[in-house]
Structure 1
Amino acid sequence: MKAHNLSNKLKSIHPATLIMYGLIAWFVVAFLIYPNLNIYYEIFFKGGSFSLEPIEKLITSKRAMTSLFNSFLLAISLVITVNTVGITLVLFGEYFAIKGAKILRLGYFTTLIYGGVVLVSGYKFVYGESGFMTKVLSSIFPAFDPSWFHGYWAVLFVMTFACTSNHVLFLGNAIRKIDYQTIEAARNMGASTLYILLRVVLPVLKPTLFALTILVFLTGLAATSAPLILGGTEFQTITPMILTFSKSMTSRDLAALLALVLGLATLILLTIMIKLERKGNFMSVSKVKSELVKQKINNKAGNIIAHIMAYFLFLIYIIPVVLIIIFSFTDAQSISTATLTWNSFTLDNYVLVFSNMAAIKPYLISIAYAAAASVTVVLLTLAASRILHKYKNKWATALEYALLIPWMLPSTLIAIGLIVTFNEPRFIIGNSVLVGTVWMLFLGYVIVHIPFTLRMVKASFFTLDNNLEDAARNLGAKSFYTFRRVLLPIILPSTLAVLALNFNNTLADYDLTVFLYHPLYQPLGVVIKNSTDAQALADTRALTLVYSVILMVMSTITLYFVYGRKKL
């Protein structure tokens, strides 16, 4: 009877819909499940028999163990520093009455328009051995060490100010929702400004802070660009070490094991944090909300100190952006020597980028990858969301959990899984080899963006009025026609916003790109990273600054259209 019912259901589904379901199932099994299971086999069952030799190699490898220690040290340090700086930025921008707050917020938001390898290369350009600020400090203090900006403290400094984007966005939004009547009631009872901040304001922000702490820890644990560019030989972390080991066939199992350790640490941390969050009671006691009014700092000395700190932080954020833009309009000699003269300004760098195919090639490659991956992941999640919205059964639930797998794994583990699995013919992909092809990076981009895109697109689907689809069906419209002409136009604006964000985030990606890119087709992220090497040509550095400025402009435009002026 069950088989008969199943047969009838299959007959009632349009063949094109069945093909779509089949392709989604194949993609999930081939690229989300199989590589991540295969990596366990390659580590512990290589040769057909179980072996713990990779673990022994890991434990006895001093470099590997040191990188593990450094990664956890960086992650723990960032939880402290990023939360401290992030909370301070939000308080200066949203809670306290600081003069020029709107200008300050523009500076604090600069990490939203550039990040990753672009941001790190920018900080190295400013504070590195031949950087502009280093030259300024050396001229003021003759005994100043020009090679000061490297190692653990340099990585911590850069990542501290690079990872506050989520704080200014989400914590800022949370603090604006605090009930002002609660603050007024505490003040009327004689509570001081500090007491209100610690006992009234911050406890309400705990849920957001928990989530941000998870993100910061995971970011520090899987950091790639900053340790690789600024860490030097004395501060190597897990991901750069995985990259080094993955380049050799003899140590690839060690790279896979390190990636697995990174993945297990991620899962354990997520589990612990979720349990802690569920146990806590972080609800506001107020039931009637009133708009937050910025608080004046009545203590004169405290007010002066707060203003000095606010503008000092503003300078730290804004200086790299300003100098990148200024030096992008100078000649190669000025860039290599970090000096500015009126005669050094030129438009030649921009002319070269937009007129020379070799110069613009990395940019076109990144645009092609970002566009193809963004469109593909949106189409995939649209189809999956349609299934999740239409069907409420165990198969739909299994599909949703499978599509969220990349959210639980670091991109490093995903990359190593793809490399280890598809470096030889596999039946599941038609006995093809993907390693060494342009498809590897494309697949990597699609995979890592699936969870975020699915959540956003799925949320749009579940805001739809079911009566719309019922009305279309009653009028004789077929399922695909209803989706295309009735449902899709409603969810299209939010879907396009997600597509734009994915495109924006993919353009200058380095952390995943460096593992999977084709040597003949170097994307922007790799080119920008290579320009930070000491042996990089001055002309290459000049082009990199132009790339960075163009990326900033594109990011600003994307954020403007996605979030709008009022939200930023």
Structure 2
Amino acid sequence: MSIEKIKEKLATINPTTFIFYGLIAWFVVAFLIYPNINIYYEIFFKDGKLSFKAAEKLLSSERAMRSLYNSLILAVSLVFTVNIVGITLVLITEYFDIKGTRILRLGYFTTLIYSGVVLVSGYKFVYGENGFMTKLLVNLFPSFDTTWFHGYWAVLFVMSFAGTSNHVLFLGNAIRKIDFQTVEAAKNMGASTFYILWRIVLPVLKPTIFALTILTFLTGLAATSAPLILGGTEFQTITPVILTFSKSVTSRDLAALLALVLGLATLALLTIMIRFEQKGNFMSVSKVKSELVKQKISNKLGNIAVHMLAYFLFLLYAIPVVLIIIFSFTDAHSIATATLNFNSFSMSNYMNVFSNSSALKPYLVSIVYAATASVTVVVLALMASRILQKFRNKWTVILEYALLIPWMLPSTLIAIGLIVTFNTPRMIIGNSILVGTVWMLFFAYVIVHIPFTLRMVKASFFSLDTNLEDAAKNLGAKSFYTFTKVLLPIILPSTLAVLALNFNGILADYDLTVFLYHPLYQPLGIVIKNSTDAQALSDTKALTLVYSVILMIMSAITLYFVYGRKSRT
């Protein structure tokens, strides 16, 4: 292209568009590329010379190597336990004809409205040393060990039930798409219920199960909340050790290297998953699919056993949520002693949260972070999606891949990259230091949520009818006017749904927050985790229960508006 044509092309671009393009380019380079390259330099080229000193320190650190081993053990264990529990839940709710399925769903879907540090703190509140269920077991069995709920088995127990959210959403959706004709044909040939399940239904679900297995493994490998709260000193995994190392300047290189190991493992597993999907060829043999009909279990004993299992799992899921809600209305003494007394019930905890500025502060901090980061990431995704829609060249391809970088890296590596990079003045951010400021966590939230937001918003953009834009252009409308008045209103509902999901995810985040939060502005995730410590005051625990209930309500409302309303249309 000649210089004249380039000048002519540039002259047609609105100055506002130039600003948008420049902003996106700066964000990509400053926060997605530079920190992730710099972390390699800081590890292997300290003082400008190639050095493997950090690797030697890592290999000689018994604590670091033990954390790697523990993370691997946890990840492998979760692959089995989460798949077993998750597949069982989906079969109970979607495949078998079980009485009271609607009630069972309420229990099984609780992990969708509370997760992470809120969920782990809830389980500790119920099963911990001073927990309600522990006290109940002690009353039944006086010699029962009150410190039973900690270490590897406690972490595995909590994460096995907490990690089924993806199964409920994605595997449940996949099983509903199974062609009922193949199931009916096998039944007519005399195949038993469990034979059909094993030989026909589960093989069709293999791609989804494999993808969920990879995600489960990665979740176990990068687990933070459960090992930190329940693991104790005997079961420390990678992320809690990275957190400890990152707080000291002398061991920060070890933290960076451990995060890098975690990142490489993530990339390797994602590559394996992509290769598996490319090689796989899964299709229905029927040209006209029929809707799946729930299957009755003909064997009477088998039917009773499945029903008992279904309601036992319901209790395991529902008890923590119910007890959190109940105890949030009790006084500090009842919470500390895990005892229920009718006279102790009141609204004082809720009134305290909304009337006391210090109690309300963590909630407001989290809302401000969640709102500003969610809006920012949606705006960036809208601008990037618009560029990807209008132009298709090597630069837009590079832009798209760059914006997807956080999807390939664990949040731990992203956090350490930001700490290592922006703990000194950098020209790319105006010679400022971000470490120790409120902006650090804000940028981290935006970075982590960019990939998901981009994929969703981009899908909405590419589903638009191009004739709409052409018609507006023929009528003399400028590009910015066309975007704001014609295109944006069409994609706004799906964009707002993504914004709501991001807001929900940021509100009680802990895994990323714990690395980057400002000490004077503690978000909810930090406050909730601190309340699980043995030395935490009873009043603090009472407020935490209120925070947890409010978060669950907000999550439920968000999920209803994002998913529930769609299912009714």
TM-score range, shorter chain: over 0.9
**What SS does the corresponding residue of 1:432 show, helix, strand or coil?**
coil
Secondary structure in 1 aligned to 2:47?
A: coil
2-structure distance, mates of 1:2, 1:90: 60
> Which AA in structure 1 matches 2:21?
Y
- 1:234 matched to 2:234: yes
Distance 2:5 2:26 in 1: 24
Match of 1:480 in 2: 480
Give the match for residue 106 of structure 1: 106
1:48 CA displacement: 1.0
**How do residues 552-563 of structure 1 correspond to structure 2 at under 5 angstroms?**
552-563=552-563
Q: CA deviation at 1:199?
A: 1.0
Shift of 1:137: 0.6
2:349 is aligned with 1:338: no
CA shift for structure 1 position 214: 1.6
Alignment of 1:26-37 (within 5 A): 26-37=26-37
More divergent stretch after superposition (210-219 vs 409-418)? 210-219
Corresponding residue of 1:512: 512
Paired with 1:50 and 1:16, the residues of 2 have a C-alpha distance of: 44
Deviation at 1:215, TM superposition (A): 1.2
Aligned ranges for residues 160-559 of structure 1 at < 5 Å? 160-559=160-559
Aligned-pair CA distance for 1:176: 0.9
Asked whether the equivalents of residues 381 and 457 of structure 1 are also in contact (C-alpha less than 8 Å), the reply is yes
- Report how far residue 213 of structure 1 moved: 1.1
CA distance in 2, matches of 1:36, 1:566: 39
Q: Counterparts of 1:210 and 1:38 in 2: how far apart (Å)?
A: 34
CA displacement at 1:566 relative to structure 2? 6.6
Preserved contact between residue 210 and residue 277 of structure 1 (Cα < 8 Å): no
- Counterpart amino acid of 1:99? K
Q: Deviations over 1:138-172 (max 9, x none)?
A: 11111110000000010000001001011111111
- Segment of structure 1 superposing worse, 424-433 or 275-284: 275-284
- Per the alignment, in what secondary structure is the counterpart of residue 551 of structure 1? helix
3-state SS of 1:425 partner: coil
**Which whole-Å CA distance do the structure 1 matches of 2:566 and 2:12 have between them?**
48
| Secondary structure of 2:250's aligned partner | helix
Q: Is the 8 A contact 1:159 1:226 kept in 2?
A: yes
Post-superposition Cα deviations, 1:401-447, rounded to whole Å, max 9, x if no partner, equal: 00000000000000000000000000001100000000000000000
1:375-403 CA-partner distances (Å, limit 9, x unpaired): 00000000000000111111111100000
Contact 1:93 1:101 in 2 (8 A): yes
* Partner amino acid, structure 1, of 2:183: I
Secondary structure, aligned partner of 2:470: helix
1:135 paired with 2:135, answer yes
Instruction: Give 3-state SS (helix, strand or coil) of 1:47's partner.
Output: helix
Distance 2:565 2:383 in 1: 32
Gaps of at least 5 residues in structure 1 are none
CA distance in 2 between partners of 1:103 and 1:565 (Å): 19
Aligned to 2:91: 91
Residue 485 of structure 1 aligns with an amino acid whose one-letter code is: K
Distance 2:254 2:297 in 1: 55
User: Which amino acid in 1 is paired with 2:105?
Assistant: R
For residues 482 and 206 of structure 2, the distance between their equivalents in structure 1, rounded to whole angstroms, comes to: 43
Aligned-partner Cα distance in 2 for 1:5–1:160: 60
1:117 equivalent in alignment to 2:117: yes
Measure, in 1, the Cα distance between the counterparts of 2:71 and 2:3.
53
User: Which residue type is aligned with residue 104 of structure 1?
Assistant: L
Q: Which residue type is aligned with residue 164 of structure 2?
A: T
* Amino acid paired to 2:522: Q
Deviations 1:216-251 (A, max 9, x none): 111111100000000000100000000000000000
**Match for residue 154 of structure 1?**
154
- Equivalent residue of 1:564, what SS? helix
User: C-alpha offsets along residues 188-223 of structure 1, whole Å, 9 cap, x if unaligned?
Assistant: 111111111011101111121122112111111110
Shift in Å at residue 33 of structure 1?
0.1
CA distance in 1, matches of 2:5, 2:565: 54
1:3 deviation in Å? Answer: 3.0
Cα deviation digits, residues 482-505 of structure 1 (max 9, x gap): 000000000000000000000001
Tell me the equivalent position of 2:25.
25
What are structure 2's unaligned runs of at least 5 residues?
A: none
| Deviation by residue 1:314-346 (Cα, 9 ceiling, x = unmatched) | 000000000000000000000001000111111
**CA displacement 1:284-323 (0-9 Å, x = unmatched):** 2222111111101111110110001000000000000000
Give me the CA root mean square deviation.
Answer: 0.9
Contact 1:203 1:282 survives alignment (8 Å): no
Q: What one-letter code is carried by the residue in structure 2 that aligns with 1:61?
A: S
Figure out how many residues of one structure are paired with residues of the other and give that number: 568
Kept in 2, the 8 Å contact 1:67–1:238? The answer is: yes
Secondary structure of the residue that 2:210 maps to in structure 1? helix
Deviation at 1:46, TM superposition (A): 1.0
1:565: Cα distance to partner? 5.2
The amino acid that maps onto 1:389 is Q
Aligned to 1:41: 41
Please state how far the C-alpha of 1:282 moved relative to its aligned partner. 2.3
CA distance in 1 between partners of 2:312 and 2:334 (Å) = 27
SS in 1 for 2:48: coil
Residue matched to 2:7: 7
Quick one: distance in 2 between partners of 1:2 and 1:334? 78
Encode CA deviations 1:37-62: one digit per residue, 9 max, x unaligned.
00000001111101000000000000
